Structure 1
Amino acid sequence: MPRPPLSLSDYRAAIGSEIGRSDWVLIDQPMIDAFAALTGDNQYIHIDPVRARESPLRGTVAHGFLTLAIIGGLGPKVIPPIEGTKIGYNYGFNSIRLVTPVPSGSRIRAIFIAKGAEQRAPGQVTLTFGVTVEIEGRIKPALVAEWLTLMVSE
């Protein structure tokens, strides 16, 4: 459930702090297969469990872009909006690193750190977040990124 809105000054005061942490999300083979079908990325390490068992990965893994795409659904559930804004848009990434493959059947969650909050124009605020996607039970994260969102009042 989304948090109540924060003022721009409250966001700025939170810079360097965790601003949201998602629930765990299961990344199972049907999700991976559906993503492969949508994107046309049918590499065997994603969609062929038998062949993938013989690979260095020892089984199928999620597409890196699937892991990245999930951020867009998790963020709005846990990141509070800016007071007075009506909608947020994905504005891009300053950096993305796919650190560790996500094995099929794993659970992941995203942790969002406030890194910036800048007024762009009247009714527009750009928020910058450090994002770490963790894999349950693993030390290394699946992904680390710096994500930009644009909050708009109209």
Structure 2
Amino acid sequence: MNEIWKKPPITLEAYQALVGKEIGVSSWYLIDQPRIDTYADVTEDHQFIHVDPQRAKESAFGTTIAHGFLTMSMMSVMSYEVMPAIAGTTMGVNYGFDKLRFISPVRSGKRIRGRFVLAEAKLRKPNELQSRTNVTVEIEGEDKPALVADWLGLIYFA
């Protein structure tokens, strides 16, 4: 499973010791029109504010914007870059969100990055860890973030 993580694995105890700490900040990721269009095709959400630059000029945003769920989905790649793997992990799955708020739109051509704070890491079973990570997705050059989330995950061990 470690092939997707960029950092070397750490022990479960070391991971749990990170609770309450900022783990790190990801690289910047460009959210350009081709990425937005691809997401629109995959989800079949072709609302003009996402895919029609001419018409979107007349909207409150002044240009096309990323789907909120596109911005949210980028948290996965950002987390692989920032969050450490736990030694012995066989798989990890999304468990959902306790909170997810879209604060500011991500305009086409902007870059975003994720800031990760491990809020909780508790064993539910001997081979199952539930994590809660506070994530803020920032927009380069803007004061307000794109989104804030309390992201839940389940990590399984052999």
Letter in 1 for 2:29: V
Letter in 2 for 1:65: F
Deviation, 1:12, is 2.8
Q: Provide structure 2 residue ranges, at least 5 long, that are not aligned to the other structure.
A: none
Q: Provide structure 1 residue ranges, at least 5 long, that are not aligned to the other structure.
A: none
Q: Paired residue for 1:44?
A: 48
Deviation, 1:150, is 1.1
Instruction: Compute the TM-score of the two structures, normalised by the length of structure 1.
Output: 0.94
Report how many aligned residue pairs link the two structures.
Answer: 154
Letter in 1 for 2:97: F
Letter in 2 for 1:113: V
Pair 1:57 & 2:68 matched: no
Secondary structure (helix, strand or coil) at the match of 1:80 reads: coil
* Residues 67-111 of structure 1: per-residue CA shift (max 9 Å, x gap): 011112221222002222132211211110000000000000001
Q: Which of these residues, 139, 143, 148, is aligned with residue 147 of structure 2?
A: 143
> Which stretch of structure 1 is more off in the superposition, 130-139 or 4-13?
4-13
Q: Which of these residues, 11, 19, 26, is aligned with residue 15 of structure 2?
A: 11
Deviation, 1:5, is 2.1
Q: Paired residue for 2:109?
A: 105
Query: Counterparts of 1:18 and 1:70 in 2: how far apart (Å)?
Result: 19
Identity, in percent, stands at: 49
Q: Paired residue for 1:79?
A: 83
Pair 1:89 & 2:65 matched: no
Instruction: Compute the TM-score of the two structures, normalised by the length of structure 2.
Output: 0.92
